[in-house]
Structure 1
Amino acid sequence: MKDKVNREKIPQPGQPRPFNFPEFRAYRLPEGLQTITVHKNNLPLVNLLYHVSFSPLDDRPGHEGQASLLSLLLLEGTKKLTGAQIAGRFEALGANYNTHIGWSGFYFELNILKEHLEKGLELSRQILYESVLPDHEFARLKQEALVDRLQIKDMAGRIANERLLKLLFPDHRYGLPVEGLSASIEKITVEELRSLYNQVFLKRQPTIIFTGNIEEDEALSLTEKYFASQQNKAPHEAKVARFEQSAKPKMALVHKPNAAQIELRVAQFIPPRQHPDFFKIRLMNEIFGGYFLSRLNLNLREKHGYTYGIHSQLTYRPQVGMLLISASIQSEFITQALQEVFKETHKMKEDGVSADELSSAAGYLIGVFPTAFETIDQISDAIAHIVTYNLPADYYRTFREKIAEVTVEQVNEAAQKYLKPQNMQVVLVGDRNVVEKALKENYEIEVFDIKGNPLK
């Protein structure tokens, strides 16, 4: 006879395994460049993370996608080497390298054996400071970006995310995707990318993070040798932006013919990442929709079977935070699912949480916390997060302690103060012929095609 599982009773968390986030040292060189070092000698590897406050916020209006294209084009040729030669040399060293750009900035990352570190740093220096941004590679990458935009019509999740951002940030760069839209990508020229590279990218002060089998003195010496001589830069201060919660929430239905289900997104603003109530809000969200035993998942998945899973997360950009609910819902249950989402939101705000719920959520966060720092590149990324959001140096070393200190009263206070169901923006992507009539019986909705054009 099979044991019965009591899904009504929240299991108690076990003892968390010991963990200490590694100590790191930060230095400011005379040139102003900041170097951070984390020494871990368990493997003969070093991770370099070069971070600079250059982001899609630097795109020229109407030419959105410039920063994204530039981040890719940097790898395609320097004054001495073609992109293929760069790739071949890194491969011969057994190294991995890439660029990434997002709202928090530009990142160049290198993972390499310690014995080949200097050769890897010289190649990295050329990529970052001597890129020529070749015409033919620009044409290829631009075409790939345009093809990617064409493919979005088959990606309901991306369509939903982009329409939601347009509702939240109608007049800000945050309201458009990092890579831009087809119309803006079409306008971008290689000449304007070269200007952006020389006049903006190269003038921003970077932070360089070394993690792995490297000593502090060596990291400083290598920074001086390969990066400090290039410095004629200044720290970048972002413009202060203010984001207001919409007084009149909107519900947008994006018509995707013959869609088998509905992609649902619900979102509102929350305080920015540096806010002192961060840990209270984090636990509030965890109980609300942040993990498998959350209220949203137990209701919409376990109780009603409307979805295979629903999740809420806190997502941050410089100067603003968002609470985002995501799910794929069976079309015939979309109105009921929406009602349950808002019911749970009001219940959390008005009735609060229990001690058992808080204990379970806190235990989960404390328990999984070490898994986020198992590799040297994960550690570098975590330190970059501290730098980007100006968090305390001991943020990760005290994270579990601060989670454990949050009380039921504090979570309830956060829910009452920050959950705003009356301001939540809603996006649905699905077949209007299946769901529009039922939705209009309960909600005021606007309908769009997948390109964002209004439909009657």
Structure 2
Amino acid sequence: MPILNRTIAPDSKSIEKINLIKANEIDYKNKVKLYAINAGEQSVKKIDFIFNAGTWYEKQRLVSLITNLMLNEGTTTKSSNKIADLFEFYGATFNVSISPDTAYISVMFLGKHIEKILRILDDILRNSSFPQNELDNMIQNKKQKYLLDSSKVKVLARRKFNEALFGNEHPYSMYSEYSDFDLINTDVLKSFYSDFYSSSNCKIVLSGSVTDADIKLIEKYFGNDTWGSNKAIQSIKYKVKSSEIKNHIIEKTDSVQSAVRIGTTMINRSSTDFYGLSILNTVLGGYFGSRLMANIREDKGYTYGIGSIAVSYKHDGYFVIVTEVGSDVCQKAIDEVYIELKRLQDERIPESELSLVKNYMLGEMVRAFDGPFSIAESYRELIDYDLDMSYYQDFLDSIKNATSVQLQEIANKYFSRENMYEVIAGKKS
């Protein structure tokens, strides 16, 4: 057996393409669409239900969130305890979540129990009853969490930042008030549930070792007759009303730390510039070795962590730099952020740094397709934008072919200081 020489680094290989497993797409007669991803041989499967039922579609604050959270709290045939016991008995995990655009139900389970799991989910999607006692408990818990969160500078900064970018009546910035909890009742939840958790508004992603029998079971429970009201989902348009004031301070004099957010509205995943923007974001603050981390954390010691994010929603997007710093160095940290933004505009990224970032991003892309559930998550992201899997190959090609000249042009196009909003929650030095 040869001895491994650990003084010599292993050969590296260039990632030329990602082996994308194409989903088997099936349109059922009741308008449900299935994406079946047959990958892996493990006994565990995962099913995701996707609905256009995020905050974008609610007429009353909190309705989309509470409706989503209440789905497993009882049906006309089962109590919340009974549902929980059944999932536990079959070794399944049930999760719900929402984004501003979309609502999700996700269940991971042993493949041999698929029909039993689908039967429970069928009951949840057709017969959720939103019991008053369960709703009262949830509202009380959410109120307590709201009060706790409202004392945190990072929460105050996030709320004010999104409001400054989109306006306080836009779904991407419309945060709830304490009084909104008292306006939630079972009637508004049942109405939202009926209108948006319906067969005509449902996409399903099934991943794992998917068989023809599994696909037939999906059709049996969710692809034949209609469920929900099946009203046409209206295409709602909201106007972005950005604040005319670019700098906002939320005073919290007892805070040792100040939360800082700097950014602006931005393109979303549907724009071809989003590829280059993602690379720039990674250079600036998208990984542990980023410029913001190197400067403001490692060199200056102003913070334990700082990062930047290019957020993509279905109808819009934004770019934001996020950190918490000592109140005594808040302005110094902000000054350094703008220095790093200006560097991206004025200087080309050195080839050595760009190569490092490219390799990091390519590695992250490979990990994003490592296994059926990661592939399913990637599909979920594309479904929101009506994109297909060629998006990821195009993204990979854009990363490999990006030049410092192109990235400098994108930085000058999108990172102008005059477009940036600045929010501080805490004390500004």
User: What TM-score comes out, normalization by structure 1 length?
Assistant: 0.85
Equivalent in 214, 223, 228 of residue 223 of structure 2: 228
Q: 1:153 to 1:32 in 2, by over 3 A?
A: closer
Deviation at 1:174, TM superposition (A): 1.5
Question: Unpaired runs of 5+ in structure 1?
Answer: 1-12, 439-456
Deviation at 1:19, TM superposition (A): 5.3
Number of positions where the alignment pairs a residue of Structure 1 with one of Structure 2: 415
Q: 1:327 to 1:149 in 2, by over 3 A?
A: same
Name the structure 1 match of 2:49: 50
231-240 or 98-107, larger mean C-alpha shift:
231-240
Alignment pair present for 1:114 and 2:107:
no
Name the structure 2 match of 1:103: 100
Name the structure 1 match of 2:184: 188
1:354-374 CA-to-partner distances (Å, cap 9, x unmatched) read 322221211110122233344
Question: Unpaired runs of 5+ in structure 2?
Answer: 1-10
- Equivalent residue of 2:388, what SS? coil
Equivalent in 69, 74, 95 of residue 72 of structure 1: 69
Name the structure 2 match of 1:450: none
Name the structure 2 match of 1:174: 172
Deviation at 1:293, TM superposition (A): 2.5
Distance 1:118 1:188 in 2: 34
Deviation at 1:256, TM superposition (A): 2.5
Distance 2:290 2:240 in 1: 28
Alignment pair present for 1:161 and 2:158:
yes
* Aligned partner letter, 2:174: L
Deviation at 1:274, TM superposition (A): 0.6
* Aligned partner letter, 1:41: G
- Equivalent residue of 2:278, what SS? helix
Distance 1:259 1:327 in 2: 15
Alignment pair present for 1:424 and 2:420:
yes
Equivalent in 409, 414, 417 of residue 410 of structure 2: 414
* Aligned partner letter, 2:155: R
Deviation at 1:206, TM superposition (A): 0.5
In the TM superposition, structure 1's runs of 4+ consecutive aligned residues that sit over 6 Å from their partners are none
Deviation at 1:388, TM superposition (A): 0.5
* Aligned partner letter, 1:303: D
1:338-377 to 2 correspondence within 5 Å? 338-377=334-373
Deviation at 1:417, TM superposition (A): 1.0
Deviation at 1:351, TM superposition (A): 2.9
Name the structure 2 match of 1:288: 284
8 Å CA contact 1:249–1:423 kept in 2: the answer is no
Distance 1:29 1:335 in 2: 57
Identity percentage over the alignment?
A: 24
* Aligned partner letter, 1:29: Y
Distance 1:372 1:16 in 2: 17
8 Å CA contact 1:66–1:185 kept in 2: the answer is no
224-233 or 415-424, larger mean C-alpha shift:
224-233
8 Å CA contact 1:252–1:427 kept in 2: the answer is yes
* Aligned partner letter, 1:97: F
8 Å CA contact 1:264–1:327 kept in 2: the answer is yes
Distance 1:113 1:203 in 2: 25
1:43-62 CA-to-partner distances (Å, cap 9, x unmatched) read 011100010111112222xx
Name the structure 2 match of 1:37: 36
Name the structure 2 match of 1:324: 320
1:384-429 CA-to-partner distances (Å, cap 9, x unmatched) read 1111012232233554333112222221111111112112111112
Distance 1:42 1:398 in 2: 29
* Aligned partner letter, 1:168: L
Name the structure 1 match of 2:4: none
Q: CA RMSD in A?
A: 2.2
235-244 or 349-358, larger mean C-alpha shift:
235-244
Q: 1:278 to 1:426 in 2, by over 3 A?
A: same
- Equivalent residue of 1:267, what SS? strand
Q: 1:236 to 1:387 in 2, by over 3 A?
A: farther
Distance 2:91 2:188 in 1: 34
Name the structure 1 match of 2:124: 127
Name the structure 2 match of 1:3: none
Distance 1:20 1:237 in 2: 37
* Aligned partner letter, 1:360: L
Deviation at 1:115, TM superposition (A): 0.6
- Equivalent residue of 1:353, what SS? coil
237-246 or 97-106, larger mean C-alpha shift:
237-246
* Aligned partner letter, 1:332: D
Name the structure 2 match of 1:88: 85
Deviation at 1:258, TM superposition (A): 2.4
- Equivalent residue of 1:142, what SS? helix
User: What TM-score comes out, normalization by structure 2 length?
Assistant: 0.90
